[in-house]
Amino acid sequence: MWMVSPPVGIFQSTKKLFLSERAGRDRTLEFIRKNAANGLSVANLVAGLSSILCSLNRQYHHSCWLLLVGFLLDLADGAVARQLDACSALGAKLDDFADFTTFGLATALLLQPQGVLDGLLAIAYVMAVFARLCFFSSGIPFTYRGLPCPYASSLLAGTFLLTGGNVTLLRVTAIVMILFMVDRGFYPHDKVLESQLWKKVVYAGGVAAVLFSPAAVASVYCLAWSTSYIVFPFAVWSCK
């Protein structure tokens, strides 16, 4: 009977161990690649749920800050999914659920409904976000139909912080945002992180403003950013 010499046996065992470790590392990297965008969607969802809890405890400034964080996460989510070629039906559903939670439910609570009319306005805002996410399809590449709800949420959060929580002004702004979201006018896919350098700089400035600047600076920055997209979507933000 032929016997494998000890050096050959050690070599084969080492080779198998190396190949096994390499295969495991490759599987881990592939898992990370496929789920990086989903991780950002989950982070957006957590930000939205945390914002809801803050609003229920009347900590509205913290709620606004979390909405702005969710706005930045949502922009990064789509870019990561496209760059890593990790778009999937599950990822799209998770992203929509996170958007509905953060930019629908959590944002509507900033309106602080106290009576029937206030409650109806909050419901109308949530339903506008629901309709925007579920039923509006442009059919045209690189184009949304209706105002994307993250920009409406960013504008409302910025308005709240800048005005010190002026509920009347916030409700008027919410009505305007509802009209923009249910309107079927076209808005470009801005693709901030996949477009011209100046857009990437705008995004980096938003991250710096939200994470490291005073609330007034962050609110002015995000308010100007959102307003420019809402009012001048193609003149400023059209991505070719």
**Whole-prediction pTM value?**
0.85
Closest alpha carbon to 225 in 132, 152, 169: 152
Rounded to 5°, angle at Cα 150 from 71 and 182: 175
Q: How confident is the model at residue 82, as a pLDDT? A: 79
**Rounded to whole angstroms, how far apart are CA atoms 211 and 71?**
13
Establish if 115 belongs to a structural domain: yes
- Whether residue 9 is contained in a domain is answered as no
d(CA 50, CA 193): 26
Is 2 a member of any domain?
no
| Residue 10 burial by Cβ neighbours in a 10 Å radius (0-12, 13-18, 19+) | exposed
Q: Which residue is listed with tokens 């096994």?
A: 20
Specify if 4 maps to a domain: no
Structure tokens at 138: 């442009």
Which pLDDT score is estimated for 136? Answer: 83
In a domain, 3, yes or no: no
Question: Is 20 part of any domain?
Answer: yes
38 is written with which tokens?
A: 């989903």
Question: Is residue 132 included in any domain, yes or no?
Answer: yes
- Those residues whose C-beta lies under 8 Å from the C-beta of residue 86, and which sit 6 or more positions away, are 33, 34, 35, 36, 37, 80
The tens place of each residue's pLDDT in the chain, 240 residues long, gives: 444 455 656 656 665 555 555 656 656 666 566 777 888 999 999 999 999 999 999 999 999 999 999 999 999 988 887 787 767 777 788 999 999 999 999 999 999 999 899 999 999 999 999 999 988 876 677 788 899 999 999 999 999 999 999 999 999 999 999 999 999 888 988 788 888 899 999 999 999 999 998 988 999 999 999 999 999 998 888 855
Instruction: Answer for the pair 106, 63: CB distance below 8 angstroms, yes or no.
Output: yes
For residues 23, 26, 28 and 32, what is the CA-based torsion angle, rounded to 10 degrees? -160
| Residue-range definition of the domain harbouring residue 133 | 14-237
- Flag whether 79 is in a domain: yes
Determine the pLDDT at residue 25: 64
Domain tally for the chain? 1
In the chain the first and final C-alpha atoms are separated, in Å, by: 72
SS3 135: coil
Give the per-residue pLDDT at 182. 94
Nearest to 59 by CA among 155, 211, 161, 159: 161
